[in-house]
Chains A and B, each alone.
Chain A
């Protein structure tokens, strides 16, 4: 089974990399960019076939390692 975990900075946490990308897009003439926030994507292959078990496993993975919940949120798509 394939799953995707998306980790993003919580709103309100300063994201200097997102700001730099936003500035670069503007300087490239890409119109209409209001703001950019940078995050991470993890594509995970799981051995089992049970979606709810997979979600629980990935939630544990996020809490233990993939996200720093002081500053980051995560979203799991199985």
Chain B
């Protein structure tokens, strides 16, 4: 597994992401700059980390979604290459057209920073093989714009084709209600592309990889990726 992490001006979770990838794959990822035009040869996985790229100016992820490196990321995804976007990375994937829909301001207008349970919707993808289908995992969220919204036809397609990756739930696995931190449609926390080789999610699995700092439920995602290529 050869991973690369893209750093934009204002990214701030790239070191956390690199730590999680190194732990799971045994080798540190390449760190790419947004102005680069190419991925390193043999890249299996491209990761867009969290943060506040371009200060969230215009719309979250809007300017980063049009950065030079994104043409290479789109080409990588079109070839079936793996792409992971977390938090601001998810926003960038939506703005770049790699995933449908948009992340809007949280319904209660508050930045939410807390531990968060998720239900793993399927475990037959490159991102989730090390989880069980329907498993509840505990990770964390930290965002002000995580309210996933798309038109009805897109939501129906995501649901019908099994492209919802994770949903917000409580510790018992009950989806929605107070467990939904941001008002997201259908309690969606993360979605796949049609080919299930692109995943965007708002929560931060990369911060739950060490028992010393809160838990290890995020490891499954990186271990799945490590064994995927």
Q: Which residues of A contact B (CB under 8 A)?
A: 13-14, 16-17, 20, 64-66, 68, 70-71
The 9 closest A-B pairs by CB, nearest first: A70-B102, A16-B109, A16-B105, A71-B102, A16-B107, A20-B109, A68-B102, A68-B59, A17-B105
Q: How far is the CB of B210 from chain A (nearest CB, A)?
A: 35
Q: Mark B84-121, 1 if CB is under 8 A from A, else 0.
A: 00000000000100001110111111000000000000
Residue of A17, A64, A71 ringed by the most chain B CB atoms within 10 A: A71
B66 CB within 8 Å of chain A: yes
A66-B62 Cα distance, complex, nearest whole Å: 9
**Main secondary structure on A side of the interface with B:** helix
Contact: A14 with B107, CB < 8 Å? yes
**Cβ contact of B151, chosen from A16, A66, A68, A70, cutoff 8 A:** A70
Give B contacts to A, CB under 8 Å: 58-59, 62-63, 66, 95, 100-102, 104-109, 149-151, 183
What B residues does A65 contact at CB under 8 A?
A: 58, 62-63, 66
How near does chain B come to A64, taking the closest CB pair, in angstroms?
A: 7
Partner of B149, one of A13, A17, A64: A13
Residues of chain A within 8 A of B104, CB atoms compared: 13-14, 16, 71
Interface of B is mostly: loop
* CB nearest neighbor in B for A17: B105
Min distance, Cβ B97 to any Cβ of chain A, angstroms: 10
Determine the residue in chain A with the shortest Cβ distance to B95: A68
Q: Which residues on A sit within 8 Å (CB–CB) of B66?
A: 64-65
Please report the C-alpha to C-alpha distance between residue A7 and residue B59 in the assembled complex, in whole angstroms. Answer: 12
**Knowing A64-B66, A65-B58, A65-B66 touch, does A70 contact B150 (C-beta < 8 A)?**
yes
Q: Which residues of A sit under 8 angstroms from B149, Cβ to Cβ?
A: 13-14, 70-71
Cα–Cα distance between A13 and B63 once the two chains are bound (Å): 22
Would you give 14 A-B contacts (Cβ < 8 Å), ordered by A?
Answer: A13-B149, A14-B149, A14-B183, A16-B105, A16-B106, A16-B107, A20-B109, A64-B66, A65-B63, A68-B95, A70-B100, A70-B151, A71-B104, A71-B149
